[in-house]
Structure 1
Amino acid sequence: MIETMTPLVEDHAAGLEERGYCIIRGALPPATIAALDQDLAEDFARTPFCEGAFYGTTTKRFGRLLIRSQHAAALVRHAAILATVETLLSRWCDRIQLNVAQAIAVHPGAPAQMPHRDQDMWRAPAGEAEYLVNVIWPLTRFTAANGATMVWPDSHGANALIPEPRTAPVAAEMAPGDALMFLGSTLHGAGANRTEEVRRGIVVGYSLGWLKPYENQWLAYPPEVARSFPPELAALVGYRQHRPNLGNYEGQCPSVLLGERVDQPLAAIDALRPDQAAMVDAYLASQAT
């Protein structure tokens, strides 16, 4: 499986590094996307329109997708996409985390969204590191007319420091089953919906494991919910420490909350990177001589 996946991962990673984005055609079966869209239909109908000029008053948004539909996990846990994200972000973190899983419906008459970079949610240095990778999955067909996501090629990385983009935007036209991946440093924004149809999609984002995520995962998926998740998914939504000792519960990995005996006193346990453990061992050895 890994051998057949590697060329795909290398291709996706190269596109992200070179252009700041890539489109994966046929990433999932359209039937999976259709089933997810059907599961979310009532939530789309009941959710009120957003407030504020950035979210858009003709747009609806809601999260907690992993408990709204069993099909959402297929997007969040897509093997080639996760491997691509880990390839790109692992140089800056011990592990990645789920940053957001959100459904979005852009209604007729919606204006174009202000071009922006998602990394700007954190007040961190730009152009030196990548903090997240986002993936947009269309639930309905994305066209230039109905507001497909606009992406500015080569606006990522160090080019994010340039006041004005050097390239014209591209409309990411896609069909259900396709996926748009782009870096947190890439300039983008929803296009204007000039049609009479509602454009629906999903954004799944992954960020460095030591950042505060956009969606509060522990509230979205508390222990009584996360206990039903496969271990890998529970870890992705936050039930795993980021070395050294970051995000612990009583000094242990928060995955302990998913077990049966969570009301017992716990001993704090080191969770160090190998280089840190070696440094501690060397210090203790020097003190013993």
Structure 2
Amino acid sequence: MLNRLPNTATIDEVSASLKEHGYVIIDELVSADVMDEVAAQMAPHIESTPFGEDKFIGFKTQRTGSMILRSERSRDLIMHPLITGVAGKHLSQASTFQLHLTQVITVHPGSPAQVLHQDQLAWDFFDFPDSYEVQCNTLWAMTDYTAENGATRIVPDSQYAGRGQKFPPEAGVAAEMKKGSVLLYTGKIYHGAGENKTDQVRQAINITYAVGWVRQEENQYLSTPPEVARTLPDDLLKLMGYQCGCFAMGYVRDFEDPLAYLKGTTERRSAGFNALSSTANQTSAEYATAFV
């Protein structure tokens, strides 16, 4: 039995479960209709997406990004209050957190199982301490997730196994869940796509968050052109990276705030220690206030 909670679970309950197990499934957090709407908006882009060019990405798997631009409905998933609340708590050791990537993963029939791995290897295989969480990931089920159609496999209790471990395929347990459910998992837990033994595609929306001081996997500034970005809400823009990740990380020109620069406002917003006073990280905010 995998770790799972109902869709009535609170931010604190989900956060505690994620911290203890390294992953948690929230059953049917949104309706199947929401998944269908995102699927319809992304369909023409998925159709033109090439398959992966190596075994890890998947020779029979498509990964279609730029979801903020291509699917307005997906923005509700990116900004879902339960998910962003959990991400904020999980990544609270950093001054801010940001969007790391958005993509639809389409696993086609006959696709073999992916090697079991940690997602935080994306940062050049850096050996993050066990005590530091750099990443909070989600996989939203666009189709039912079953063992037969390649549901993501989780290796229970692997979050402290360390970097570069080689788990056999049978160590992974299929994260079966209904359409509209979401799997949250840390950057440390070992996991991988399962083998799709059916004649149907298995699809998921992969939305990932990371601490504000690391480089994003998906370049949000190019994926969503400035003329579109200027029409988006400030909270979403900050999550995309239009804020300083911490002191002096990400300012524009003459120490200007990136959101103010994007919007072309004349009001000067500090990109320094003052900017940290409104972050989710209380320790950083207190230090910044005292320093100033």
Q: Please tell me the residue identity of whatever aligns with 1:116.
A: H
The equivalent position to 1:228 in structure 2, one of 204, 218, 231, is 231
Corresponding residue for residue 242 of structure 1: 245
- The counterpart of 1:259, out of the listed 249, 253, 263, is 263
What displacement does 1:243 show?
2.7
Which whole-Å CA distance do the structure 1 matches of 2:189 and 2:80 have between them? 22
Partner of 2:287: 275
Q: Does the CA contact (< 8 Å) of 1:137 and 1:180 recur in 2?
A: yes
Correspondence for 1:160: 162
Q: How many pairs does the alignment contain?
A: 272
Q: Which AA in structure 1 matches 2:113?
A: A
Structure 1 spans left out of the alignment, 5+ residues:
282-289
**Aligned counterpart, 1:41:** 43
Q: CA offset at residue 164 of structure 1? A: 5.6
Distance 1:100 1:47 in 2: 16
Question: Is the aligned partner of 1:181 residue 2:193?
Answer: no
Q: Give the Cα separation in 1 of the matches to 2:78 and 2:199.
A: 30
Amino acid at match of 2:32: P
> Matched residues in 2 for 1:180 and 1:148: separation?
11
TM-score, with normalisation over the residues of structure 1?
A: 0.87
- The answer for the alignment partner of 1:212 in structure 2 is 215
Q: Alignment partner for residue 141 of structure 2, among 138, 141, 153?
A: 138
Q: Which residue of 2 aligns with 1:17?
A: 19
Question: Of the candidates 33, 57, 60, which is equivalent to residue 58 of structure 1?
Answer: 60
Query: Which segment is superposed worse, 200-209 or 35-44?
Result: 35-44
Choose 129-138 or 35-44, whichever is displaced more: 35-44
CA distance in 1, matches of 2:42, 2:220: 19
- C-alpha change, 1:168 and 1:53, in structure 2 (3 Å) is closer
Q: CA-to-partner distance for each residue in 1:139-184, whole Å, 9 max, x for gaps?
A: 111110010000011111x333594669932211112210000000
Aligned-partner residue type, residue 24 of structure 1: I
Superposition CA RMSD, Å: 2.3
**In the alignment, which residue of structure 2 is the partner of 1:72?**
74
Q: Deviations over 1:18-43 (max 9, x none)?
A: 11110001211211111111111111
Separation (CA, whole Å) in 2 of partners of 1:261 and 1:7 = 40
Contact 2:137 2:209 in 1 (8 A): yes
Structure 1 position 278, deviation (Å): 2.4
Identify which of 123, 128, 131 aligns with 1:128.
131
- Cα pair 1:127 1:161 within 8 Å, conserved: no
1:98-147 Cα offsets, whole Å, 9 max, x none, are 00011110001000001110011122424231110110011111110010
Find out whether 1:27 has 2:29 as its counterpart. yes
Query: Aligned equivalents of 2:157 and 2:259: distance in 1?
Result: 39
Unmatched segments (≥5 aa) in structure 2: 1-6, 275-284
SS at match of 1:207: strand
AA matched with 2:221: W
Q: Aligned partners of 2:235, 2:138: CA distance in 1, in Å?
A: 19
Q: Which of 88, 91, 108 is the matching residue for 2:90?
A: 88
CA contact 1:127–1:159 (8 Å) conserved in 2: no
- Change in 2 beyond 3 A, CA 1:175/1:246: same
Whole-angstrom distance in 2 between the partners of 1:254 and 1:80: 26
- Percent identity over the alignment is 34
Q: Which moved more, 1:45-54 or 1:110-119?
A: 45-54
